[in-house]
Structure 1
Amino acid sequence: MRPGPTRARPLAALTSMATAMVTAAALLAACTGDPEPRAGSAAPTAGAGAPGATATPSPTPPVEGAPADLTALVERLYAGKDLGRAANAETTRALATGSTRSGGGSAGGGVPADARAAVGSWFGTPIAVVTAGEDVTLAVGKRWQVVGGWWPSLGVDAPVVGGGPRWVLAVGSDARRGQDLARSRADTLQVVGLDGKGGGGVMGIARDLWVTLSTGGKGKINSAMALGGPQAQLRTVRAATGLPIEGYAVIGFEGFTTLIDDQGGIPIVVPETVDASHARIVIEKGPQVLSGKEALAYARERKTLPDGDFGRSRHQGQLLLAAAVKAKLAGPIAVPGALTSFSEVGRSDLTAEEMLTFAAGLYRVNPTQVGRGVAAGPFGWAGSQSIVVLGDQARRLFASFEDGNLS
């Protein structure tokens, strides 16, 4: 007898899951190494508490979870010192225009006592997020450089996260076990955008959309990666949409399930029950926490959907938004761990600075200002191939996304 379909688990409390993620991220950050004593820190002297003795000021607390060189950089930041090459141009300009330096961020006041760091890696490049109250500092590199963040305590409320509009292409590879992740067809194509003003969008692209390929000739848009790799896929999507997409992030089936399970699943509200017939999984309508296997089934099912591949692309957009909401609840401190996990199973041409600032930018987005759409079109034929014709609906969607916002 064949096993019956499995059913997705009911949703545990979303807040509890987010709290668990934050706790896990903090523990991982704390395990990166004990901070070394910093140069210039005052040490308590014997007899400081004796009557008549001069009290010795307590040393500035270290940045929990940060290596010594990162701690030293954060000290310079909060002391109001010129960071020089240890900050990118955008960060330098923002810090220079800070209206006040009060409270924990006052010049010479030291690092706030609640400062803590999470350290990870993006394809071999160290990355870090340091939080202190409402402040967030983003750093990358073997010689740490501040590449963004936001610092209300330093009078810098506006986020430094690469500006906007910005777009990244998320690609799900159709590669099976043993196949090249980057030279298979794209099973999923989603463009994630940020407008730099608190809004954004997620735009799915029908994989059978018939377009001019960057590798030459015409074909289904998802064939570009199999013919020329992720860069060819990126160039093809750029040309078809007219959007100056920064780069790509590619992941395969196994990597996708591993990444979702490593992050504790995806909390999502499923609009309608989905019978993922290809995977023999039924995902019930309502709030769920999808495992990696369940999320993959939800992202790939199309045969039982009334609008087929268009509905499939819509599901993929829902998963991306659900993941973004979960990440927002976990807080920026969870970013290095998530990016480290991705870089172990996926591929990307985005630099550490580009990816870190883009991911951090998601935390500045108002969920009510994030729209969704699917670049669809009428069905047609190219020879013996069933295709989706690139028509007015898709072109209007591309045009509406030019500001990085689909809301």
Structure 2
Amino acid sequence: MTSQHRPTDPVQQRRRPSGRRPARRTRRSTAARSLCVVAAVGVALAGCSTDAPSPSGSSGSSGSTSDGSAPGSATSTSGVRVTGAPAPLATLVSKVYAGGDLTHTSSPSAAAALKARKSVSGPVTATAKIGSWMGTPVAVVTAGDDVTLAVGPTWKVVGGWWPSLGVTKPSLGGGPRWVLAIGSDARKGQPLERTRADVLQVIGIDGKGGGGVMGMARDLWVPLSTGGKGKINSAMVAGGPKAQVSTVKQVTGLPVKGYVVLGFTGFKKIVDEQGGIPIVIPKTVVASHAKNMVIKAGAQTLSGAQALAYARERKTLPDGDFGRSRHQGEVILAAAVKAKLAGPIAIPAALTSFSKVGKSNLTAEQILTFTAGLHQLSPLKVGRGVAKGAFGWAGKQSIVILGAEARSLFAEFRDGNLS
């Protein structure tokens, strides 16, 4: 495939000649230039709230914790003071800084990263925020530029970064890694995980500060993991989110780790709870499916209803479903940029919010290290694209036929980076 003329919009997908992979060139998206550009699942996945409501109960940042103790301020004999943590978590954080043995209280990758750490000579003041992921307690503890990620209820360190201890690289589960963000088409009374996938976005990180968001046109005609061929978004109807992930994996060749899935109502709720999505809309959109709601061009903060209308509109777009998928990618990038500004301390509250309305097969360790990895991304090293194809017909169905252009995009994303 030969290179195509580069579009005037710098966030449009770049194509590369097959047979070689040229040196990376920065894709300066609208998000990167303005520090504010937009999908549903990405809002919670990125953990972008600076003032989301505190989770309550055993997973909350206030009240009793999962071990029955009240989070407060604890100072160990090593001079490490942790605010907002139950005693067992405070003790664990103290071991991180005092040089204690973490073999049995850390994941293998975190233990390896911390093995050669230096212990601190002076006092350490740390702040913990606690949340919940699908019923499992999660925590982010910050101390200056250091971040410790922990999972309960028997607390263990699963990742983080510790420049004050001489640890040169973050420990975030390695890379590259991919997660499939699914927006369910479920209406009231319908099962969230057994309806069509209205949104299919593959979010990737390369483990080196780069990443990408790749939209899958929902009318792509592909082999389904549940058998036969069909539109790619129909896999979830027959086999649930796991079948949807399997289908995306076999089509793209990317070893997607798992999924997060959210419905329309949950999407709007999370966006509103997170205070909206700051974004720069490149061109005014009239959402025909939402009573002709107008989303004007320019910098603004979208409410949940506005963000949903922007992410779902296709009929009034010149490139239809491809344009809609592009908008969804913009939403996710905007959420990631907002997350970068809020800092990793906002992750627990955001994961708690998602857990109330969404579904996932990712473990607490997987989601915590993945979302923290989004905070390590450089906006100038994150790109996006849409898997497109030619239009065709399967019986009376209008479909999109997978072609060389989409396969080139899949190959480009194999390192977790689309910049």
TM-score (norm 2): 0.84
Q: Which amino acid aligns with 1:338?
A: A
The 2-side partners of 1:154 and 1:266 are apart by 35
Which residue, 107, 111, 121 being the options, matches 1:88?
107
What's 1:247 paired with? 258
The change in CA–CA distance for 1:385 and 1:199 in structure 2 (over 3 A counts) is same
Higher relative contact order (CA 8 A, sep 6+): 2
Deviation readout 1:260-286 (Å, 9 max, x if unpaired): 111010000001000112112100101
What's 2:62 paired with? 31
Runs of 4+ in structure 1 over 6 Å off: 25-29
- Tell whether 2:84 aligns with 1:73: no
The 2-side partners of 1:333 and 1:360 are apart by 9
The 2-side partners of 1:158 and 1:136 are apart by 12
The change in CA–CA distance for 1:309 and 1:78 in structure 2 (over 3 A counts) is same
Give the drift of 1:32: 4.4
Give the drift of 1:90: 0.9
Deviation readout 1:214-269 (Å, 9 max, x if unpaired): 00000000000001100110000000000000000000000100111110100000
Deviation readout 1:319-352 (Å, 9 max, x if unpaired): 0000000111110000000011101100000000
Q: Say what the alpha-carbon RMSD is for the aligned residues.
A: 2.0
Give the drift of 1:83: 1.4
Q: Percent identity?
A: 64
The 2-side partners of 1:251 and 1:406 are apart by 25
Q: Which amino acid aligns with 2:93?
A: V
What's 1:46 paired with? none
Q: Which amino acid aligns with 2:228?
A: G
- Tell whether 2:170 aligns with 1:139: no
The change in CA–CA distance for 1:151 and 1:227 in structure 2 (over 3 A counts) is same
Helix, strand or coil: the match of 1:160? coil
The 2-side partners of 1:26 and 1:357 are apart by 21
Deviation readout 1:340-381 (Å, 9 max, x if unpaired): 110110000000000000000001110110010000000000
The 1-side partners of 2:55 and 2:156 are apart by 24
- Tell whether 2:199 aligns with 1:180: no
Deviation readout 1:158-210 (Å, 9 max, x if unpaired): 11011100000000000001100000000000000000111000000000000
The 2-side partners of 1:124 and 1:39 are apart by 28
What's 2:7 paired with? none
How many residues get paired? 365
Which residue, 16, 22, 34 being the options, matches 2:50?
22
Q: How does 1:51-200 map to 2 (within 5 A)?
A: 60=79, 62-98=81-117, 100-101=118-119, 105-106=120-121, 109-110=122-123, 112-113=124-125, 115-200=126-211
Counterpart contact for 1:267–1:322, Cα < 8 Å? yes
Instruction: Compare CA radii of gyration and give the structure with the larger one.
Output: 1
The change in CA–CA distance for 1:35 and 1:296 in structure 2 (over 3 A counts) is closer
What's 1:48 paired with? none
The change in CA–CA distance for 1:187 and 1:27 in structure 2 (over 3 A counts) is closer
The 1-side partners of 2:158 and 2:309 are apart by 37
The 2-side partners of 1:26 and 1:328 are apart by 20
What's 1:3 paired with? none
The 2-side partners of 1:273 and 1:35 are apart by 47
Helix, strand or coil: the match of 1:159? coil
Give the drift of 1:390: 0.5
Q: How does 1:342-381 map to 2 (within 5 A)?
A: 342-381=354-393
The change in CA–CA distance for 1:228 and 1:24 in structure 2 (over 3 A counts) is closer
Q: Which amino acid aligns with 1:155?
A: G
Give the drift of 1:23: 5.2
Helix, strand or coil: the match of 1:137? strand
Q: How does 1:326-405 map to 2 (within 5 A)?
A: 326-405=338-417
The change in CA–CA distance for 1:262 and 1:331 in structure 2 (over 3 A counts) is same
Q: Which amino acid aligns with 1:282?
A: V
Give the drift of 1:64: 1.2
What's 1:7 paired with? none
The 2-side partners of 1:391 and 1:79 are apart by 56
Give the drift of 1:37: 7.5
Q: Which amino acid aligns with 2:50?
A: V
Unaligned runs of 5+ in 2: 1-34, 37-47, 65-69
The 1-side partners of 2:198 and 2:349 are apart by 26
Helix, strand or coil: the match of 1:94? helix
Give the drift of 1:150: 0.2
What's 2:330 paired with? 318
TM-score (norm 1): 0.86
Counterpart contact for 2:76–2:94, Cα < 8 Å? no
Unaligned runs of 5+ in 1: 1-12, 15-19, 42-58
Which residue, 226, 229, 233 being the options, matches 2:244?
233
The 2-side partners of 1:398 and 1:61 are apart by 47
Give the drift of 1:76: 1.1
The 1-side partners of 2:73 and 2:390 are apart by 65
Give the drift of 1:31: 2.3
